[in-house]
Structure 1
């Protein structure tokens, strides 16, 4: 057959052409193009696509950044959301758009600007100066060459110049900043009268019919999400330290080997007289300082007992002069150079000659000496026992961790083998959902996780991810060893799954009664406050009973006023005064009496700072407006495939659970 094809090659080519050409009319040339390049397109910028592959790469990089930043607090369910994916797609569109604008308008960056930018990067500096060697090392660690990095940086700097003029030119007039600063610092004198909802609870009566009606009308609020009860093993320092006994001979040996740690080296108490010699002093000034120091040294040597008075009268060290030159207790290593050498060489009450240091000239007297000493074993015994136990526990922890990892993988349908082998207790907890721990009254089981001493460990995102993975939820297999900290490991296993459900009425009767009582007490407090407000507003001149002391507040200095109350007070018209205003503060109702308004004190530095902050905000708003215009100009289109990606459907990189 192959010989036939070779012999009639032209005829075979003609037959293939006859077969292929009609298919173009059936599926279209575009169909073949899609077959060859099948990667979905999410958006286009000036006709150029942003593909699913580009998005997926950026998506993986962003999740990895979150993982590194958050560490053990990383929870894919919290960071990997439709809003995050939509924001990421918009960032890719904006990057492509700015690059196109920079290219079309021939934005460029000079070699000098590029060099200065690189030299200013702290990671490539050595002692504040650019280091070519460190530059190459940093790039090599990231798998980049200088050529690659510089090309990318040059491109990024050029793109940055598209919006840079807008950002840098955004300015808020000083009159606007001054007016806002005046509003922020305007002071108002108020007195408050609070109507506490708690005081009205006794007046509220809730019937069984009220509870049933609320229950029937609010089924959605009473829905308890899917939850699991879990078994788990916790390996920590306490578990590794269990039953460790420290022998007396080990304590003695440890003490003898570490006496330097339990002892005290020689300490000396010293005083000094210092004559300052400024760094730029002339030779004449130096000679004068030296002569004065020599004279003081002779006086001190002649009368060591009068050293303190001599220091008070002559030392130029303000910190010690008033204390007679006392420097306190000093140990070897606390000072350096000639000062330390001199102090260590003097006997008690002996006075030195003139000693020079970078700070000046010194005359030194050693006033006391404490010889080296070692604490007795009895005094440090408990400390030694604790340290030995920790060392043994650290070794045991590493061994137990290795064994735990092996057993939970070898026998994945139960935690009992690992518990037996390591002497650990299997613990139980209930009420764990994909989002966190349920309140105790909604948890299924005897040990609600929210009340467990291990609640923080069980509420870890990685623990929840393991429990709600397909293996954990469907097959109820042991998780891998989850490292919560360097000295805390956890293994979990689903014991029971409870589907999403509406809590039975008898389980939530008390909470509904409390809720309705709070709502009606709050309503009663509001009505009482409104009635009082009408009465007081009709006769604003007199001060009713029950108001607190006057407080001066401003928008920048709220003085612990609740935000709703502060906003209501600051919005109250300036005339007439005094005036009253009522506002809800949680369940309570607050009536505020406004007595006085004073203009704010405008500070020039405050206005300047506010002006910069407002300018930055204004620049951000202008940038957003320009980007919107550029999207129209360059015909940016978000394609239907983007909706699938944003919702997370059909995403192989999306985290499980």
Structure 2
């Protein structure tokens, strides 16, 4: 029974959320809001008996904002996330999940707390290096996700209910074998052909283009030679590290910081511990009374029958374990301690190693303290710097004049493009987020100071002083490129003329090899077996890429045996005479058929799940407490 439940939730979206992978999401939108003025203000969503608390919505929102900050930078805010629709999406997902959970409850698919807790203890994600369930690992995961144990159990139950509701629906679907056969025949069919390959590389031009020809190419390809928009910029940059020089930090400040934050440099005492947990007090004291001098739990296990020994690893006094560990730190001796009770039972702790802890001396951490003081002062100085810049600019002071102030650096950039390349082809090199800087450059109006961008490390303000709009590069600067285009076009024309002349020589009984024997511009080859996608099902057989193109494959797979087709390929032209049509063997290519079947089944299952979920949503009233949700995020 337990194994069946474990199998049902082993790919849980909740657990995968903890481990960085989301198993399943539903793409169904549209949730009707019911009105329930009597709802608890701590409830964000209510569907029947199923409630989603505001704390759970807040937890999900905070987690997503954290991920977005990692991806987009530390300046990304909660308001930005709201504007992007993150909260709306969370509400819709939670509403769908609550509806499915309520439907599962109505079908009596619930699971008792005891069984869910047993499942948690069996999960490999919460086991230590020797394979035992670790309360410490579980608590650390819960803490990092802002979850209590009961909240985790409730989320796990909801996930279990939804999967028990949806899995039978998904597993009952299958694709018609006739459809699989048709798709298999289409995707796995292969063809072979004799080809004449006419490579462009064998054609040499004897003539050169005159200016009129090149100007015609230039006018035909103006978009290809368009120079990007460029902007001339001036900016003021202030760096925090320059506002607070290291030599401005006094020894007194360093000593005061060290003494006031001594706990930061103290290594806490630790104990390395293992334990056994008994169900009742009598069992624990009976076992304790069996201990001889210097006995270990492993030796005790050899004497009497005791529960499984659990390795707790190395603990400090403030570690969260779910039970009281103060008695461990009341002892400085290695050995087994008297029984201690908790909600989990009666514990026999064995201390296997003791560390008294230590304090790092000031000289060891002095550089770290200086950096901390410097950073702390810089926060205030950066604020003052931005206020100073705003006041100066508002008073009509130019950026050049502001830059005369110590630590304020003037930056002049001569006509950079959106990639930060100047007119000389050099890439700008600035001690700031270049993408953010360039985005601001190309979103600012000419002649108007931008907003001040402030981070912990720097602040800057910029002004676009001149804009050069996109325009074609002058003809004189692209003559070499025009010659290459003209030469390529002429060679392609010559190749196509050659292909037409060769095709005219091919009859029903023509030998393509003999046609190529005395013509140095032609190459003979056998193509295939090849699929319509330009590859082959034959193991270790690679189709030369220069022989295939989408156009050629389309023509070849619409041809009859003996028919001649032709098409341009990447570096030339191919004339192909279809030699054989190879129908796929379902036994020889069984894996290919299995892949097709799995893909079709997956698509059918997703469609059925979507329709089933939509029908569930239609059956339940969903109350969304928008007033409570609005309090969770900036509006």
Q: Following TM superposition, by how much is the alpha carbon of 1:399 offset from its aligned partner in structure 2, in angstroms? A: 1.0
Equivalent residue of 2:464, what SS? strand
| 1:77-122 CA distance string (max 9 Å, x none) | xxxxxxxxxxxxxxxxxxxxxxxxxxxxxxxx9xx96549989996
Separation (CA, whole Å) in 2 of partners of 1:364 and 1:457: 56
Task: State the 1:340 CA deviation.
Answer: 0.3
Deviation per residue, 1:388-407 (Å, 9 max, x gap)? 22112222111111101111
8 Å CA contact retained: 1:237, 1:397: yes
Please state if 1:297 is matched with 2:288: yes
1:263-282 mapped onto 2 (5 Å cutoff) = 263-275=266-278, 277=279
Map of 1:86-165 to 2, 5 A cutoff? 114-115=35-36, 123=44, 129=51
Shift of 1:201: 11
**Aligned-residue offset at 1:237:** 3.5
Q: 1:230 Cα deviation (Å)?
A: 1.2
Instruction: Report deviation, 1:269.
Output: 1.3
Residue 441 of structure 2: which of 458, 463, 473 is its match?
463
Deviation at 1:267, TM superposition (A): 0.9
SS at match of 2:325: helix
Deviations for 1:102-143, whole angstroms, at most 9, x for unmatched residues?
xxxxxxx9xx965499899963679974889x99xxxxxxxx
Q: Within 5 Å, which residues of 2 pair with 1:246-265?
A: 246-265=249-268
**CA distance in structure 2 between the aligned counterparts of 1:515 and 1:291, rounded to whole angstroms:** 93
1:437 is the counterpart of 2:418: yes
Partners of 1:586 and 1:609 lie apart in 2 by 36
Shift, 1:264, TM fit = 0.5
Structure 2 unmatched runs, 5+: 1-31, 58-169, 193-197, 504-511, 517-521, 613-635
Counterpart position of 2:346: 361
Matched, 1:610 2:613: no
Question: After superposition, where does 1:460-609 map in structure 2 within 5 Å?
Answer: 460=439, 462-466=440-444, 468=445, 472=446, 476=447, 478-483=448-453, 485=455, 488-512=458-482, 535-537=524-526, 598=589, 599-601=592-594, 609=602
2:402 aligned to which of 418, 422, 432? 418
Question: What does residue 308 of structure 1 align with?
Answer: 298
Match of 2:356 among 371, 374, 377: 371
**Paired residue for 1:397, among 351, 374, 382?**
382
- Tell me which residue corresponds to 2:238: 235
Gaps of 5+ in 1: 1-108, 136-170, 278-286, 554-560, 620-657
1:224 has 2:236 as partner = no
d(CA) in 2 for partners of 1:582, 1:308: 80
Show CA shifts across 1:39-75 (max 9, x none): xxxxxxxxxxxxxxxxxxxxxxxxxxxxxxxxxxxxx
State the SS of the aligned residue for 1:302: coil
Taking a change above 3 Å as real, the CA distance of residues 387 and 510 of structure 1, as seen in their structure-2 partners, is farther
Q: Does the aligned pair in 2 maintain the 1:463–1:482 contact within 8 Å? A: no
Q: Secondary structure at the match of 1:123?
A: strand
CA distance in 1 between counterparts of 2:573 and 2:282 reads: 79
CA contact (8 A) 2:549 2:570 kept: no
Question: Take 1:116 and 1:332, find their aligned partners in 2: how far apart are those partners?
Answer: 47
- Contact 1:265–1:373 (Cα < 8 Å) also in 2: yes
CA distance in 1, matches of 2:321, 2:380: 40
* Within-5 A mapping of 1:446-461: 455-460=434-439
CA distance in 1, matches of 2:38, 2:214: 68
Preserved contact between residue 241 and residue 389 of structure 1 (Cα < 8 Å)? yes
Q: Secondary structure at the match of 1:465?
A: coil
TM-score (norm 2): 0.50
Deviations 1:531-562 (A, max 9, x none): 9998444x8689xxxx9995599xxxxxxx99
Q: Relative to structure 1, is the Cα distance of residues 125 and 428 closer, same or farther in structure 2, using a 3 angstrom cutoff?
A: farther
- Measure the CA separation in 1 of the matches of 2:425 and 2:179: 59
Q: In the superposition, relative to structure 1, how do residues 206 and 450 fare at CA in structure 2: closer, same or farther (>3 Å)?
A: farther
- Does the 8 Å CA contact 1:190/1:550 hold for their aligned counterparts? no
Indicate the SS of the match to 2:332. Answer: coil
Structure 1 distance, partners of 2:313, 2:380, is 43
Question: Which secondary structure state, in structure 2, belongs to the residue aligned with residue 353 of structure 1?
Answer: coil
3-state secondary structure, aligned to 1:367: strand
**In 1, distance between residues paired with 2:186 and 2:473?**
51
2: CA distance, partners of 1:574 / 1:314: 78
Worse-superposed segment, 301-310 or 364-373: 301-310
Structure 1 residue 228: Cα displacement = 2.4
Query: Take 1:581 and 1:450, find their aligned partners in 2: how far apart are those partners?
Result: 52
Rg larger in 1 or in 2? 1
Q: Is the 8 A contact 1:263 1:375 kept in 2?
A: yes
- Give a deviation string over 1:517-540, Cα, whole Å, max 9, x none: 888999999999x99998444x86
d(CA) in 2 for partners of 1:609 and 1:398? 56
C-alpha distance 331-117 of structure 1, shift in aligned 2 (>3 A): same
Is residue 189–residue 550 contact of structure 1 (8 Å, CA) maintained in 2?
no
Count of paired positions: 422
Quote the residue 1:66 is aligned against: none
Mapped to 2, the partners of 1:496 and 1:456 lie a distance apart of: 20
Distance 2:189 2:556 in 1: 12
